[in-house]
Chains A and B, each alone.
Chain A
Amino acid sequence: MDWFDKWAITLAVFIPTVGAAVIAIVPRERDRLARGLGLLFSGVPLLVGILMLFRFDFGMGGAFGRAGALQFEVNLRWIDALNANYHVGLDGISLPLLELTLLLTFLCFIYTWRFLPEPGRPKAFAALLLLLETGMAGTFVAFDLVLFFVFWELVLVPMYFLIGVWGGPNREYAAVKFFLYTIFGSVFMLLGFLAMYFRSDIPGVGHTFDIVLLQQAGFPTGIQNLVFVGLFLGFAIKVPMWPFHTWLPDAHTEAPTVGSVLLAGILLKMGTYGFVRISLPLLPDASRSWAPAIGVLAVIAIVYAALACLAQRDLKRLIAFSSVGHMGFVMLGIATLTPIGINAAVFGMVAHGVITGMLFFLAGSIHERYHTREIAEIGGGMLSKVPYLGSVLTFTAIASLGLPGLAGFWGEVMALLSSYSPADGLSLGLFRTLMVFGGVGTILTAGYFLWMLQRVNLGTVPDRWQAKVFPDVLAIEWLSWAPLLVGTLLLGVFPRLVFGVTNEAVSNLVGLFT
């Protein structure tokens, strides 16, 4: 299996690209063939991903930073002029996110087998989704800053077209806003990367973009602070953190269903992953001095998003705003710089990907039936009109609001817990205040989800829908949702599924702060 260990990541990342190229030459009329190839070329990477789970040495947990501790590592020369390499690998933090990416994309293709938004064009749709998958998966495995940046930006163009062609009525505005916002942040991130490159002088290597090597660079504090600002702009816009979140409600609302699923499920995690993977280990001093500010912004996001959700009338927009809040919890966990907090953050990322991905699938399916997403127009009674769909919505919403026993619980509660005792050198008073406000946020979150359920699920079916016959959850929907529903339950009951993987990598990382 040596061969597999060496090439597994490359296969998982680039089989979708090959698929995109293959689909590009399929004749336009062969609708089913294009969708089938999409299934195939996202299914094979998932199989590779599952195999990797069996080959992954959980005992090592991927001790990021210790030489040779990355698993499935490949380090090939790529651009000699820059000393940039094709360096990919997996540790305990990347693994769950990579698996999530592979799984969600495959589920999106299952969903697309039946549902393809206007104006059709399955060929282009499938090719773009596959290209997107390469970008997303690559971001989580890249251990070279240039490579990371290339994958990071690779996501933009497919998503721009997915929103702009297959989106809702206001799609063009949303697509451009998404693109400009993200690229604005990421170019500053690139400048930060370059600054690190030129300020690094690793014995025997010289200037380098290698994320593992750069940990030894030990930049002076002044440089760290400057670079941190550049990186912060890139990551914070992607997360998005308040007040950089304004692209999100538009993009998520206008995007087609699977576009929203991937935006919320994966793309947002790229930002938080960037903080954990790059900002914290490479710029520890700056991270410590910026942590309080990040914590404050995170809590503002939690409370603000919850209040905004209470005011939403559009179901999909409500879910979009709820993402801002959930990512706030993730950022709060990161800001504490403690093992519990960062474990909670990674857990929160995975849980949010599973749950909110599911919520966006539901929003799409509700729209397929009612042809509206206005909560007032749906008008209640969904549980009696389409009982399975209503039940699934209840289950997922309750998971999202953080009910113990389901996936949403652990990320939030541990983030709050960790802010009770943040890392040394961070203000206890501030973080405990943040904890209180975060707690208020959880109550508000429960409030808007329950209120939404009351307005959509409960009550009697309005007259206008009485005569209409809606199909309940279809087989294809069950197929694409089942893994997420099961995952929500499993992660809630056995949080060790994630913590067991991440813990060691996180403790290594946090060693820098204690």
Chain B
Amino acid sequence: MPAIDYHAILPELILSGTILLALVAATALPRQRSWVAMPLSFLGVVGALVATLTLIGSDRATFGGTYVVDNFAVLFKVFFMVVALVVLAVSLRYFREGRFYQGEYYFLLLSSFLGMLTMPSSRDLLMLFISLELVSAPGFLMAGLRKGDPRSNEAALKFFLIGVLSTAVMLYGMSLIYGVTGTLSLTGIAEVLSGPAGGGNLALAAILFVVAGFAFKVSAAPFQFWAPDTYEGSPIPVAAYLSVASKAAGFAGLLQLMFVAFAPRADFWAPIFAVVSVATMSLGNLVALQQRQVVRLFAYSSIAQSGYMLLPFALVGSDAAINRAAFAAVVLYILIYAVMNLGAFGVILAVAREAPGALVTDFAGLIRRAPALAVSMVLFLVSLAGIPFLAGFWGKFFIFSAAIDARQAWLAVVMVVNSVISVAYYLSIARQMIFVEAPQDARPLRVPALVSTVVVLAAAAIVTVGVFPDLFAHFPQVSTLSAP
């Protein structure tokens, strides 16, 4: 039994302790004080974040090499912890004001984030599966936290059923992979797959099954249809978490599988990703055009964004330079997407406090009611649409450039057309906020301080990265996974 490297798993340990603490604190405290679970969780996450920061630059492996802390893992862990802080910050008011069991919520949320911490470190199929389940299972419950609302029940049930189904398919695929290759380690799988055994139909089918499981997680077509209903029914902070953190976790796993384990068979799966990516972005964008409810609109928008993030997978091939560029493009896009989408959800949250229906028309005249919020929202929308000089543009730019570099210009053209379509619905919200007058009785919007802080910080980040993209652009390069 080799010794466990406790420093490498320190962030996970701290977070696990916090999870228990939050659960106990919420049950021990009287109801009106149970919100204290949030600052407790916040501190715990900060602790985990600090612990992660001490790991920068290290390259550690423990648990017999199945658990690795390298630059890739650290980058994603820091990212997930920051997202956790943001989600916690916007949750406080929302859950205090509604009739929720707050202790449960923070317990579930942090458990899910624990799964995200282990995801990028998992270097064999078993760990990967456990991480993915740890991310997903609390999500099923959180989607149903608005217990009195049938739509929330539906959200949870739909999410659960489809989630379990896809998990089953993925597990089946993983067992087949183990059968073919005789190993669970990602690099081991890659070695066997690059040999003659990798060409068999069984191996290819297994890859497909595993990819299908992750496609559910990142809401890629044709596994996307749970997303709009689930986002709409969930509490809004949970929708923000689902659209950013949970999706990014799926991508973190997918990156390791595709760029390491299955890389030798890229000739087989890259074209599939091309089709999935095009279908996902087109479907997301076209349906988003029809939406009148903001959370649903953002659900479809986030499906479309998944499509963009899937595109670089289609470029993987035998050219190492292009693979690196594709990898960097995905990572960069996830980082940037998270900032702008979280910011946008912060604004939605603020508006939905006074207009629970959160229709697009509820944004009317926001520029008068909450100017800073409205201006930030315009920045997020324009950035999501991918227009310079904001961060979202660079995310798309690196994807375009990878596609052109890989001589797959047609994919870039499809994405370009999709971006133009997306401008129409993103602007429809901007239009409501600025061109349409607020109703007569509208008062200035009261925004919780934490929410407005998050929104303004996100907007500042979007602009800063937009002007100096180098701040972000070199992250993915240092974090490139070492392919075998």
Residue A180 interfacial (CB < 8 Å): yes
List the 3 closest A-B pairs by CB distance, nearest first: A81-B473, A187-B416, A150-B388
Do B387 and A164 have beta carbons less than 8 Å apart?
Answer: no
B279 / chain A contacts, CB cutoff of 8 Å = none
Looking at the assembled complex, report how far the CB atom of B476 sits from the nearest CB atom of chain A, in whole angstroms: 9
Contact with B along A126-169 (1 / 0, CB 8 A): 00000000000000000000000110011011001100110000
B423 / chain A contacts, CB cutoff of 8 Å = 179-180, 183
Do B431 and A172 have beta carbons less than 8 Å apart?
Answer: yes
A375 / chain B contacts, CB cutoff of 8 Å = none
A297 / chain B contacts, CB cutoff of 8 Å = none
Using A82-B401, A191-B404, A195-B409 as known contacts, say yes or no to A184 and B420 having CB atoms under 8 A apart.
yes
Do B427 and A161 have beta carbons less than 8 Å apart?
Answer: no
Do B404 and A194 have beta carbons less than 8 Å apart?
Answer: yes
Do B469 and A81 have beta carbons less than 8 Å apart?
Answer: yes
A172 / chain B contacts, CB cutoff of 8 Å = 431, 435
Residue A448 interfacial (CB < 8 Å): no
Residue A69 interfacial (CB < 8 Å): no
Do A153 and B388 have beta carbons less than 8 Å apart?
Answer: yes
Using A180-B420, A191-B412 as known contacts, say yes or no to A154 and B388 having CB atoms under 8 A apart.
yes
Looking at the assembled complex, report how far the CB atom of B200 sits from the nearest CB atom of chain A, in whole angstroms: 36
Residue B35 interfacial (CB < 8 Å): no
B419 to A, closest residue via Cβ? A187
**Among the listed B382, B404, B424, B470, which residue makes an inter-chain contact with A176, where contact means beta carbons less than 8 Å apart?**
B424
Do A191 and B409 have beta carbons less than 8 Å apart?
Answer: yes
Looking at the assembled complex, report how far the CB atom of B228 sits from the nearest CB atom of chain A, in whole angstroms: 24
Residue B453 interfacial (CB < 8 Å): no
Residue A463 interfacial (CB < 8 Å): no
A190 vs B419: C-alpha distance in the bound complex, in angstroms?
A: 13
Looking at the assembled complex, report how far the CB atom of A513 sits from the nearest CB atom of chain B, in whole angstroms: 28
**Among the listed A79, A164, A171, which residue makes an inter-chain contact with B470, where contact means beta carbons less than 8 Å apart?**
A79
B468 / chain A contacts, CB cutoff of 8 Å = 78
A449 vs B11: C-alpha distance in the bound complex, in angstroms?
A: 76
Residue B389 interfacial (CB < 8 Å): yes
A13 vs B362: C-alpha distance in the bound complex, in angstroms?
A: 38
A172 vs B416: C-alpha distance in the bound complex, in angstroms?
A: 24
**Interface residues of B, Cβ cutoff 8 Å to A:** 378, 382, 387-389, 393, 397, 400-401, 404-405, 409, 412-413, 416, 419-420, 423-424, 427, 431, 434-435, 468-470, 473-474, 477
A165 vs B387: C-alpha distance in the bound complex, in angstroms?
A: 20
A190 vs B401: C-alpha distance in the bound complex, in angstroms?
A: 10
A80 / chain B contacts, CB cutoff of 8 Å = 470, 473-474
B404 / chain A contacts, CB cutoff of 8 Å = 191, 194-195, 197-198
A82 / chain B contacts, CB cutoff of 8 Å = 397, 401, 473
**Among the listed A149, A153, A187, which residue makes an inter-chain contact with B420, where contact means beta carbons less than 8 Å apart?**
A187
A195 vs B474: C-alpha distance in the bound complex, in angstroms?
A: 22
Residue A188 interfacial (CB < 8 Å): yes
**Among the listed B387, B397, B401, B434, which residue makes an inter-chain contact with A156, where contact means beta carbons less than 8 Å apart?**
B387
Do B405 and A164 have beta carbons less than 8 Å apart?
Answer: no
A194 to B, closest residue via Cβ? B404
B393 / chain A contacts, CB cutoff of 8 Å = 150, 153
B378 / chain A contacts, CB cutoff of 8 Å = 157
B474 / chain A contacts, CB cutoff of 8 Å = 80-81
A197 vs B413: C-alpha distance in the bound complex, in angstroms?
A: 17
Do B473 and A191 have beta carbons less than 8 Å apart?
Answer: no
Do A164 and B431 have beta carbons less than 8 Å apart?
Answer: yes
Looking at the assembled complex, report how far the CB atom of A354 sits from the nearest CB atom of chain B, in whole angstroms: 29
**Among the listed A81, A153, A176, which residue makes an inter-chain contact with B387, where contact means beta carbons less than 8 Å apart?**
A153
B379 to A, closest residue via Cβ? A157
A164 / chain B contacts, CB cutoff of 8 Å = 431, 434-435
A78 vs B420: C-alpha distance in the bound complex, in angstroms?
A: 27
Using A82-B401, A198-B404 as known contacts, say yes or no to A157 and B382 having CB atoms under 8 A apart.
yes
Do A188 and B416 have beta carbons less than 8 Å apart?
Answer: yes
A149 / chain B contacts, CB cutoff of 8 Å = 388
Q: Chain A CB within 10 Å — which of B413, B419, B423, B473 has the most?
A: B423
Contact with B along A182-221 (1 / 0, CB 8 A): 0110011011001101100000000000000000000000
B474 to A, closest residue via Cβ? A81
A239 vs B353: C-alpha distance in the bound complex, in angstroms?
A: 46
Do B413 and A191 have beta carbons less than 8 Å apart?
Answer: yes
A179 / chain B contacts, CB cutoff of 8 Å = 423, 427
A191 vs B469: C-alpha distance in the bound complex, in angstroms?
A: 19
B435 / chain A contacts, CB cutoff of 8 Å = 164-165, 171-172
Looking at the assembled complex, report how far the CB atom of B302 sits from the nearest CB atom of chain A, in whole angstroms: 21
A119 to B, closest residue via Cβ? B437
In chain A, positions 29-84 with a C-beta closer than 8 Å to chain B are 78-82
Do A161 and B388 have beta carbons less than 8 Å apart?
Answer: no
B405 / chain A contacts, CB cutoff of 8 Å = 198
A-B contact pairs, 15 of them (CB 8 A): A79-B469, A82-B473, A154-B389, A157-B387, A161-B434, A164-B431, A165-B434, A179-B423, A179-B427, A180-B423, A180-B424, A184-B420, A188-B413, A190-B416, A191-B416
A405 vs B25: C-alpha distance in the bound complex, in angstroms?
A: 87
In chain A, positions 217-273 with a C-beta closer than 8 Å to chain B are none
In chain A, positions 63-121 with a C-beta closer than 8 Å to chain B are 78-82
A195 vs B405: C-alpha distance in the bound complex, in angstroms?
A: 8
